[in-house]
């Protein structure tokens, strides 16, 4: 019964169709450019922002709507949001507004948004370790930090073999307690997201062992290793390459690795994202990979979902580029998306594999 209902809802969503065949009024609603985010204008279910490409996809919650839960105005306006992390015990979502050098906090109870932290080191990505502590990846201060239960911060790593890290970007936590992070260096390309500085190290993926020792997990084939997540069984690791920010001749894809002896081995292309590229990614408990998408024109603004095989399952269209995303809520079935200057949320029929 439940399975057939889900299939029905997925099939219903699949009938939304493509932009080329969709009436303009519906297309505008689908992409959200003219959408009324106050909720005064009703939306006919299933949520029209969904574009299901494969009927195997069961991730559409057929009676849930895409919400823009925050869009700062005036002096409160965010410039570039990334790094969402669900802090369930705080009843909050935390995220970065990188150029404004701050992190923001949305309170689930009443929707209130306030500054969680100024002087954030231009942090980009966030995650939580297996003890639930907040992990921040900082662009300007070029380090990985952990927030302790008393609110103080501990620097986990800021150099490798005596050379400064480039600008750590994103991280994923393994079941063994290790923290794996990417170091593409976007924070030292210019002043907007950090400061301009020379690269002292190659772009890499690193692993911080629970003992505190940091080792190289992968060097290449990614030009700019960025988003990262593990499969639910921790046997595979997905790493985004945003090399295309350096020019169209470079990759915009996800590389999938085997996790072997505390390192990443056998990398091969999992999915290609041109036009545009992906940045932040998360797995659900079925092993599907949920990917922010954008930078390739308005048709690429949103989220893509790929099966563990790499097959494309679905798009979710949004009016802004989605850099990063995470699952949250007490059931981890609510997708939170950092959409450039806004935060979007949507209940889905899927459950996040990781704590955040």
Number of residues that bind Mg ion (CB under 5 A): 4
- Whether the Cβ atoms of residue 195 and residue 215 lie closer than 8 Å to each other: no
- Residue placing its CB nearer to Mg ion in the complex, 14 or 244: 244
Q: Examine residue 169 and tell whether it contacts Mg ion (CB under 5 A).
A: yes
- Whether the Cβ atoms of residue 296 and residue 275 lie closer than 8 Å to each other: yes
- Residue placing its CB nearer to Mg ion in the complex, 100 or 127: 127
For the CB of residue 128, give the shortest distance to Mg ion in the complex, in Å. 17
Which of 231, 198, 205 is closest to 220 using CA atoms? Answer: 205
For the CB of residue 274, give the shortest distance to Mg ion in the complex, in Å. 18
- Residue placing its CB nearer to Mg ion in the complex, 30 or 143: 143
Q: What is the DSSP letter of 165?
A: -
Half-sphere exposure of 273 (CA within 13 A, CB side): 35
Q: Examine residue 183 and tell whether it contacts Mg ion (CB under 5 A).
A: no
Which of 297, 309, 352, 337 is closest to 33 using CA atoms? Answer: 297
For the CB of residue 248, give the shortest distance to Mg ion in the complex, in Å. 19
- Residue placing its CB nearer to Mg ion in the complex, 51 or 279: 279
Please report which helix (H) or strand (E) contains residue 29, including its range: helix 24-31
Which of 2, 4, 6 is closest to 64 using CA atoms? Answer: 6
- Residue placing its CB nearer to Mg ion in the complex, 169 or 333: 169
- Residue placing its CB nearer to Mg ion in the complex, 226 or 288: 226
For the CB of residue 8, give the shortest distance to Mg ion in the complex, in Å. 36
For the CB of residue 226, give the shortest distance to Mg ion in the complex, in Å. 4
CA distance 103 to 291: 22
Stretch that binds Mg ion, among 67-75, 102-110, 276-284, 298-306 (CB under 5 A): 276-284
**Alpha carbon distances (Å) from 284 to 14, 154, 235, 243:** 21, 30, 15, 25
Q: Examine residue 170 and tell whether it contacts Mg ion (CB under 5 A).
A: yes
Q: Examine residue 226 and tell whether it contacts Mg ion (CB under 5 A).
A: yes
For the CB of residue 141, give the shortest distance to Mg ion in the complex, in Å. 17
CA distance 3 to 116: 41
**Alpha carbon distances (Å) from 220 to 208, 216, 255:** 18, 11, 10
Q: Examine residue 338 and tell whether it contacts Mg ion (CB under 5 A).
A: no
Stretch that binds Mg ion, among 92-100, 166-174, 209-217, 299-307 (CB under 5 A): 166-174
For the CB of residue 287, give the shortest distance to Mg ion in the complex, in Å. 21
Site for Mg ion in 277-336 (CB under 5 A): 279
Point out which residues bind Mg ion (CB under 5 A). Answer: 169-170, 226, 279
């Amino acid at each position: 019964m439940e399975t057939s209902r889900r299939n029905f809802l997925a099939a219903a969503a699949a009938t939304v169709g493509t932009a080329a065949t969709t009436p303009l009024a519906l297309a505008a609603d689908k992409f959200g450019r003219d959408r009324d985010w106050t909720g005064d204008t009703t939306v006919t279910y299933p949520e029209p922002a969904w574009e299901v490409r494969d009927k195997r996809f069961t991730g559409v919650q057929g009676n849930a709507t895409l919400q823009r839960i925050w869009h700062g105005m005036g002096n409160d306006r965010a410039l570039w949001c990334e790094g969402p992390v669900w802090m369930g015990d705080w009843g909050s979502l935390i995220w970065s507004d990188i150029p404004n050098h701050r992190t923001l906090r949305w309170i689930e109870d009443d929707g209130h948004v306030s500054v969680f932290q100024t002087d954030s080191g231009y942090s980009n990505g966030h995650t939580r370790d297996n003890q639930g502590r907040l992990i921040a990846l900082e662009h300007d201060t070029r380090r990985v930090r952990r927030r302790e239960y008393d609110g103080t911060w501990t620097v986990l790593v800021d150099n490798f073999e005596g050379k400064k890290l480039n600008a750590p970007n994103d991280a994923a936590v393994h079941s063994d307690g290790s923290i794996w992070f990417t170091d593409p260096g976007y924070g030292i390309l210019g002043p907007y997201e950090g400061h301009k500085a020379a690269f002292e190290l190659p772009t890499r993926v690193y692993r911080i062992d629970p003992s505190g020792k940091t080792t190289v997990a992968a060097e290449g084939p990614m030009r700019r290793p960025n988003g990262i997540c593990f499969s639910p069984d921790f046997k595979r690791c997905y790493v985004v390459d945003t090399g295309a920010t350096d020019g169209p001749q470079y990759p915009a894809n996800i590389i999938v690795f085997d996790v072997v002896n505390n390192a990443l081995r056998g990398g091969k292309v999992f999915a290609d994202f041109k036009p545009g590229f992906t940045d932040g990614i998360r797995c659900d408990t079925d092993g599907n990979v949920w990917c922010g998408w954008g930078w390739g024109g308005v048709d690429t603004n949103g989220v893509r979902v790929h099966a563990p095989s790499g097959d494309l399952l679905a798009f979710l269209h949004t009016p802004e580029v989605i850099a990063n995303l995470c699952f949250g809520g007490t059931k981890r079935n609510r997708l939170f998306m950092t959409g450039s200057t806004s935060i979007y949320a949507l209940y889905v029929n899927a459950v996040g594999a990781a704590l955040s």
